[in-house]
């Protein structure tokens, strides 16, 4: 058991050091991007919109930006790490090591989820420069943070195994993640939608993530947080099962 734990910890350590040693690529871009987001959507537009329910617009937007940063970094870390390992053929060292498939998936998911959580925390810190955050339900906030980053780290593994070149990684980010974000209730309330638009929004996992984190941070939600947590947890389990299946099949690795 101790040997297995050492093997897993080694993989996690390698993956964490990979992004920690490049702070200008890992941490600086989301900090600059979110300062711009807060300045434009929070200060400029927020002063015109006023409030959403009982909170200011910038407080309403903040949780969505946290989710955006956390999930995109978890996805990008896993997808790039897997694809880069395939591209340069050093992933075979992991595959042929004594690590089990479960440990391999776990190592990539844990390290990528950790990056997402760190970035989410940095975005919260930036948000403090513009507004206050009551952290109404911290346990819910932590739970949604872990589930969200785990889900997108798992999706990142699928993307990294599927991609045939670096352009495919860009396509997934631009045409899969970004649409989910902008139609996920980050910048608007679901109460503004009616009929088919509202129903379609409920099929977007971002809606559950944003509302869950929003509930944890400022105590506001449009969907029952327990329902959101159940939906996202179920999705994460399914995605991780797919990751494990793909690694066992050698998909994208042994071709």
pLDDT at 2: 61
pLDDT at 4: 60
pLDDT at 13: 93
- DSSP category for residue 131: S
| Residue 46 belongs to a domain | yes
Cross-strand partners of 55: 52
Is the separation of the CB atoms in 71 and 116 below 8 Å? yes
| Residue 101 belongs to a domain | yes
| Residue 255 belongs to a domain | no
Q: What are phi and psi of 193, to 5 degrees?
A: -100, 155
Model pLDDT for residues 8-20, shown as the tens digit of each residue: 899 999 999 999 9
pLDDT at 115: 96
Phi-psi region of 253 (alpha: psi -120 to 50; beta: other; left: phi over 0): alpha
| Residue 222 belongs to a domain | yes
C-alpha closest to that of 190 among 224, 157, 156 = 224
Residue numbers of the domain that contains 189: 2-249
| Residue 51 belongs to a domain | yes
State the Cα–Cα distance between residues 184 and 255, nearest whole angstrom. 36
| Cβ neighbours of residue 172 closer than 8 Å, sequence gap 6 or more | 75, 79, 159, 163
Q: What are phi and psi of 56, to 5 degrees?
A: -70, 160
Q: Could you give the number of structural domains in the chain?
A: 1
pLDDT at 75: 94
Helix locations, the chain, DSSP H = 2-20, 23-26, 28-37, 45-49, 57-87, 91-95, 101-127, 138-162, 166-172, 178-182, 195-201, 205-218, 225-249
State the Cα–Cα distance between residues 57 and 182, nearest whole angstrom. 16
| Residue 74 belongs to a domain | yes
State the Cα–Cα distance between residues 64 and 160, nearest whole angstrom. 25
State the Cα–Cα distance between residues 255 and 253, nearest whole angstrom. 6
- DSSP category for residue 108: H
Q: What average pLDDT values come out for the chain (255 residues) when binned by 10 residues? A: 74 92 89 87 72 83 92 93 87 83 94 96 92 93 97 94 82 76 79 76 87 94 93 96 94 75
DSSP structure string for 137-174: -HHHHHHHHHHHHHHHHHHHHHHHHH-SSHHHHHHHII
Model pLDDT for residues 75-121, shown as the tens digit of each residue: 999 999 999 888 888 888 888 788 899 999 999 999 999 999 999 99
| Residue 148 belongs to a domain | yes
pLDDT at 85: 87
pLDDT at 153: 96
| Cβ neighbours of residue 98 closer than 8 Å, sequence gap 6 or more | 3, 7
| Residue 254 belongs to a domain | no
Q: Tokens 């509302």 label which residue?
A: 211
Q: Tokens 């591209």 label which residue?
A: 87
Q: What are phi and psi of 51, to 5 degrees?
A: -130, 160
In the chain, what is the greatest distance between 2 CA atoms, to the nearest angstrom? Answer: 59
Token couple for 49: 């919109």
**CA 107 to chain CA centroid, nearest Å:** 16
pLDDT at 6: 81
Taking only Cα atoms into account, the Rg of the chain, rounded to an integer number of angstroms, comes to 19
pLDDT at 97: 81
């Amino acid at each position: 058991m101790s040997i297995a734990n050492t093997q897993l910890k080694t993989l996690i350590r390698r993956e964490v050091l990979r992004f920690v040693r490049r702070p200008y690529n890992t941490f600086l871009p989301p900090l600059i991007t979110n300062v711009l987001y807060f300045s434009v959507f929070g200060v400029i537009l927020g002063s015109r919109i006023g409030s959403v329910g009982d909170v200011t617009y910038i407080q309403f937007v903040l949780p969505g930006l946290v989710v955006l940063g956390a999930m995109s970094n978890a996805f990008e870390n896993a997808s790039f790490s897997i694809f880069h390992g395939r591209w340069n053929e050093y992933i075979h060292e992991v595959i042929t090591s004594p690590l089990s498939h479960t440990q391999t998936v776990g190592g990539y998911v844990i390290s990528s989820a950790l990056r997402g959580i760190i970035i989410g925390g940095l975005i919260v810190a930036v948000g403090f420069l513009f507004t206050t955050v009551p952290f109404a339900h911290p346990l819910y906030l932590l739970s949604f943070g872990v589930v969200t980053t785990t889900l997108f780290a798992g999706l990142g593994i699928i993307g990294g195994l599927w991609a045939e070149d670096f352009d495919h990684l860009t396509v997934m980010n631009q045409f899969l993640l970004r649409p989910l974000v902008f139609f996920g209730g980050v910048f608007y309330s679901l109460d503004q939608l009616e009929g088919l638009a509202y129903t379609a929004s409920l099929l977007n996992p971002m809606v559950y993530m944003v509302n869950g984190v929003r509930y944890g941070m400022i105590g506001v939600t449009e969907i029952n947080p327990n329902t959101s947590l159940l939906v996202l947890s179920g999705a994460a389990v399914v995605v991780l099962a797919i990751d494990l299946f793909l690694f066992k099949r050698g998909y994208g690795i042994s071709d």
